Amino acid sequence: MTNLAKAGTFEIGSRTVKRFGYGAMQLAGPGVFGPPKDRAAALAVLREAVTSGVDHIDTSEAYGPHVTNQLIREALHPYPKELVLVTKVGAKRGPQGTWEPAFSAADIASQVDDNLRHLAVDVLDVVNLRIMYSALGPAEGSIEAQLAALMKQQRAGKVRHIGLSNVTARQVEEGRAMTEIACVQNLYNLVQRQDDALIDSLAAASIAYVPFFPLGGFSPLQSSALSEVARQLGATPMQVALAWLLRRSPNILLIPGTSSVEHLRENLAAAALELPADALTALNAI
């Protein structure tokens, strides 16, 4: 059994993916804006991910903008049939790289078309509707209008499955009352566990939960307890943080981001990392 297979699989809608995927955001230029410093290196990371068995890649038109989608196309098209590309709508980039909400029906329609064109596919496997009511994180407010706009794109045959991102539990409930929600993508990691109850309720409903910033995002995780567990296991703190997420709940799918083949290999090796009970206890207490 390969390392990735050891982590098992889970469903995103009708697609089964390995629980260990890859997040492409880090492949764009500094600040997720503009082209990568080293295009060949970015393409190499994507190819290495897929040849290592990754079958779930997270992306967005807003990364670059357009840059990660174009890199994915250049590196991987024609895509292996098992590869699931998950993209997002709901945000656009300002001329200086600011992240701005963009979720009118016209915005969503044009973002779906941009994703289709840049990824060179006829239908998008999964599109996450990213809610942006606050710059600080999920904030309450109805998502009905934007979700209805994305459902229209689905009825037009351009979107297979719909997910939600940066949402509250109430917004997930609102979305599930409107349509089938295939996955939820929110900020969650070893030290930011505000979604614990949501993860459990989604697990009970067999809906995938995909934490973004699984390694802490732009400020990678730092914890003396994490470092100590890693030292005892002969692993790196990043590997332990990923292994902990895999243990946290069976519906968690990983999409750690990296622009480096070395870090990619290190991260993927975490799929086979076992966490003994005392390590789990120490990590749960962080």
Ligand X SMILES: NC(=O)c1ccc[n+]([C@@H]2O[C@H](COP(=O)([O-])OP(=O)(O)OC[C@H]3O[C@@H](n4cnc5c(N)ncnc54)[C@H](OP(=O)(O)O)[C@@H]3O)[C@@H](O)[C@H]2O)c1
Interacting residue ranges for ligand X, rule: CB under 6 A: 23-26, 58, 88, 130, 165-166, 185, 212-217, 220, 238, 255-260, 263, 266-267
Query: Which of left, alpha, beta for 129 (phi over 0: left; psi -120 to 50: alpha)?
Result: beta
At its nearest, how many Å lie between ligand X and the CB of residue 262? Answer: 8
Q: Which is nearer to ligand X, 155 or 271 (CB)?
A: 271
At its nearest, how many Å lie between ligand X and the CB of residue 97? Answer: 14
Angle of the 237-248 helix axis to the 261-269 helix axis, nearest 10: 50
DSSP for residue 207: -
Nearest Cα residue to 142 out of 172, 110, 109, 104:
172
At its nearest, how many Å lie between ligand X and the CB of residue 140? Answer: 17
Which distant-in-sequence residues (6+ apart) come within 8 Å of 214 by Cβ? 188, 189, 241, 242, 245, 254, 255, 256
Q: Which is nearer to ligand X, 87 or 155 (CB)?
A: 87
Please give the structure tokens belonging to residue 170: 């109430």
Rg (CA), the chain: 18
Please give the structure tokens belonging to residue 282: 């120490």
For the chain, the helix, strand and coil percentages under 3-state DSSP, each to the nearest 5: 40, 20, 40
Query: Which of left, alpha, beta for 97 (phi over 0: left; psi -120 to 50: alpha)?
Result: left
At its nearest, how many Å lie between ligand X and the CB of residue 60? Answer: 7
Q: Are 236 and 20 in contact (CB under 8 A)?
A: no
Residues annotated catalytic, as ranges: 63
At its nearest, how many Å lie between ligand X and the CB of residue 22? Answer: 8
Q: Are 208 and 9 in contact (CB under 8 A)?
A: no
Q: Which residues pair with 22 in a beta bridge?
A: 57
What's the CA gap between 148 and 159, in Å, rounded? 13
Q: Which residues pair with 126 in a beta bridge?
A: 86, 161
